[in-house]
């Protein structure tokens, strides 16, 4: 349902418009924060409608609610598809950004035929495959997406990144190709870890390893809840370093984790305690440093963010 090409929007006195497709989301604001949208028959797809709503929220932080009245929108096929997903014509900013339609490539998956042996944890779904998330970041002006890492196709890139001195300083995994291939393959045999490659406009830039905290080595070091998720990461493409890219990928990967499992209420990271570059950037996005602790292999900092705070800080919900 999501767009695969750039979709720029501009602010107008009555909403937003997209010149390339000659479409707009115009209307009036009621009660100081509720946007009631006028019908636009030029909107051809639900992807366009979602992109316009996203742009409207981005350019107008004071708008907290949108209504697409059935009385004037009912003939629109884009509106009909939107209603099939949302089941309502009236929704809040929070409802919009927490809905899977806003970035997640949903797939139906069976449960994994196995249980974690060390702790009592929920049964997990089998791992995802292919592209799992894609959104257009209006602030950056680029698409960001994540795909499940392929141990063969992505090996060259993974090897190159792991042998970058800036990466190996923290990951300490500058190993031979066969060792790194087995590492990725092992992550895909169970649902406890999900290895992803991140892309800006389909150019790979980093590696992200999503995990269930209860099934990870971090579990003994903090009071986890059943659906907490965690993250290991690296940026291997130097062209995508810097504050504006950090903000975009950090927001996107966290958004993906909260969308992928609605039960998840907390995201954690455990970087090395002296990774000051990461600590300085991530706290600007609402994450907090809870404390430092001793892993067997390093002294780490526990970094976390709660779901409500994430949406408040990053989507103005």
Closest CA to 134 of 317, 256, 12, 216: 256
Q: 116 — phi, psi (to 5°)?
A: -70, 130
Q: Is 169 found in the same domain as 280?
A: yes
Same domain, residue pair 216 and 299: yes
Q: What confidence category does residue 4 fall into, taking pLDDT thresholds of 50, 70 and 90?
A: low
Paired with 66 in beta bridges are 35, 91
Q: Are residues 204 and 247 in the same domain?
A: yes
* Same domain, residue pair 27 and 136: no
Any bridge partners for residue 299, and if so which?
Answer: 294
Domain boundary residue among 49, 82, 97?
A: 97
| Same domain, yes or no: 166 and 81 | no
Does 115 map to a domain?
A: no
Predicted confidence (pLDDT) per residue in 247-305, tens digit: 999 999 999 999 999 999 999 999 999 988 889 999 999 999 999 999 998 899 999 99
How many residues are given for the chain? Answer: 317
Confidence of residue 113 (pLDDT cuts 50, 70, 90): confident
Q: Is the same domain home to 151 and 76? A: no
In a domain, 50, yes or no: yes
- Domain holding 244, by residue range, is 131-315
- The answer on 93 and 192 residing in a single domain is no
Say yes or no: 161 and 267 in one domain. yes
**In a shared domain, residues 149 and 48:** no
25 lies in the same domain as 139: no
**Count of domains observed in the chain:** 2
Q: Which of 76, 97, 118 is the last residue of a domain?
A: 97
Task: Select from 97, 122, 153 the last residue of a domain.
Answer: 97
Mean of pLDDT values over 27-35: 96
CB 10 within 8 A of CB 141: no
Smallest Cα–Cα separation from 4: which of 131, 160, 120, 128? Answer: 131
Helical axes 155-162 vs 177-187, angle rounded to 10°: 110
- pLDDT given for residue 115 in this prediction: 86
Question: Considering the domain boundaries, does residue 230 fall inside one?
Answer: yes
**Which residue among the candidates 106, 270, 290, 313 is catalytic per the annotation?**
270
pLDDT digits (tens, 9 = 90+) for 121-173: 999 999 999 999 999 999 999 999 999 999 999 999 999 999 999 999 889 99
Say yes or no: 138 and 273 in one domain. yes
Give the separation between CA 15 and CA 238, rounded to whole angstroms: 37
Q: Is 209 a catalytic residue?
A: no
Whether 159 is covered by a domain: the verdict is yes
Of 40-54, 101-115, 228-242, the range with the lowest mean pLDDT is: 101-115
Rounded to the nearest 10 degrees, what angle do helices 46-59 and 77-86 cross at? 70
Residue 230 confidence (pLDDT) above 60 = yes
Is residue 3 assigned to a domain?
no
> What is the spatial distance between Cα 110 and Cα 127, in angstroms, rounded to a whole number?
9
Residue 106 lies in a domain: no
Rounded average pLDDT over 94-123: 91
pLDDT for 2: 62
Average pLDDT over the chain, rounded to whole?
A: 94
Contact 277, 283 (CB under 8 A): no
Q: HSE on the CB side for 101, CA within 13 Å?
A: 20
Q: How far is CA 13 from each of CA 23, 25, 49, 61, rounded to the nearest angstrom?
A: 15, 11, 19, 15
**pTM listed for this prediction:** 0.95
Residues 143 and 213 in one domain: yes
As a whole number, mean pLDDT of residues 213-223 equals 96
Cα 135 to Cα 121: distance, rounded to the nearest angstrom: 31
Supply the CATH number for residue 259's domain.
3.40.630.30
Neighbour order of strands in the sheet with 266-269: 131-137, 142-148, 193-200, 203-212, 229-235, 266-269, 299-306, 288-294
27 domain-assigned:
yes
Spatial distance between the Cα atoms of 20 and 217, rounded to a whole number of angstroms? 49
pLDDT tops 60 at residue 1: no
In a domain, 126, yes or no: no
Q: Is 215 exposed, middle or buried (0-12, 13-18, 19+ CB in 10 A)?
A: buried
């Amino acid at each position: 349902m999501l767009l695969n090409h750039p979709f720029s929007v501009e602010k107008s006195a009555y909403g937003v418009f997209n010149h390339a497709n000659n479409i707009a989301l115009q209307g009036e604001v009621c009660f100081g924060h509720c946007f009631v949208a006028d019908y636009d028959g030029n909107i051809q797809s639900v992807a366009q409608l979602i992109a316009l709503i996203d742009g409207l929220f981005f350019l107008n932080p004071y708008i907290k609610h949108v209504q697409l009245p059935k009385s004037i929108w009912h003939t629109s096929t884009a509106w009909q598809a939107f209603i099939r997903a949302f089941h309502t014509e009236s929704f809040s900013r929070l409802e919009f950004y927490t809905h899977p339609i806003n970035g997640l490539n949903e797939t139906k998956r069976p449960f994994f035929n196995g249980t974690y042996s060390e702790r009592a944890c929920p049964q997990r779904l089998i791992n995802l495959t292919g592209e799992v998330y894609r959104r257009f970041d209006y602030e950056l002006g680029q698409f960001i997406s994540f795909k499940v890492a392929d141990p063969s196709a992505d090996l060259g890139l993974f090897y190159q990144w792991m042998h970058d001195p800036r990466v190996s300083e923290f990951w300490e995994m500058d190993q031979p190709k066969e060792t790194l291939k087995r590492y990725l393959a092992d992550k895909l045999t169970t649902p406890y870890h999900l290895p992803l490659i991140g892309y800006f406009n389909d150019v790979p830039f980093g590696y992200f390893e999503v995990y269930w905290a209860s099934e990870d080595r971090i579990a003994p070091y903090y009071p986890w809840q059943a659906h907490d998720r965690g993250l290991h990461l690296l940026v291997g493409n130097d062209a995508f370093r810097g504050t504006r890219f950090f903000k975009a990928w950090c927001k996107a990967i966290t958004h993906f984790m909260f969308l992928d499992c609605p039960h998840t209420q907390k995201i954690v990271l455990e970087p090395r305690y002296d990774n000051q570059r990461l600590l300085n950037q991530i706290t600007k996005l609402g994450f907090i440093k809870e404390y430092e602790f001793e892993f067997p292999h390093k002294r780490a900092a526990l970094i976390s963010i709660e779901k409500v705070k994430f949406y408040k800080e990053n989507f103005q919900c």
